[in-house]
Amino acid sequence: MHDDFNLRLTTSLEALSARIARLAIGLGVDMDNAQAFDAILSQPTAAFVPEERRNSVAGTVAVPTPSVDRRVAHLKEELRALVVLRYHLERTSIENGGLQVTREMLEQAHKHLLAQGFKPGADGWHTKDWQPLG
């Protein structure tokens, strides 16, 4: 049972890390930079818009008028949420499987990301943070 759970968690971490890296690249956020990484985590949530603003010409269907700034804010919020979700999965894995098992899963996910062509740290995960203490 633990092997199945670990496999699912590793697969989830791989997909999550890839999405984080893609969002960061698309938004121009250097997740390998500690200040940029912290800025994503500390950003305020995007304001809720109760009604979609739409343009319509008489006799035509209303078409949404997307705002680039609003779209970027939503993508940054998604990036922040995915990083927080990954931290939650890491913590859950440590609590359930231990540090060594979690480290192996994260390293596997990291290797998979590198194999896809992402640069080290593109998803904000740093192997140096997982080096043995002492």
**What is the predicted pLDDT for the residue at 133?**
40
Is 53 part of a structural domain of the chain?
Answer: no
132, part of any domain:
no
Count: domains in the chain: 1
Q: What is the pLDDT of residues 50-88, one digit of tens each?
A: 555 555 555 565 555 567 788 888 899 999 999 999 999
Q: Give the range of the structural domain holding residue 72, as residue numbers without chain letter.
A: 2-46+66-127
Q: Which contacts of 87-96 are long-range, i.e. CB under 8 A and separated by 24 or more positions?
A: 89/9, 89/12, 89/13, 89/16, 90/13, 93/9, 96/5
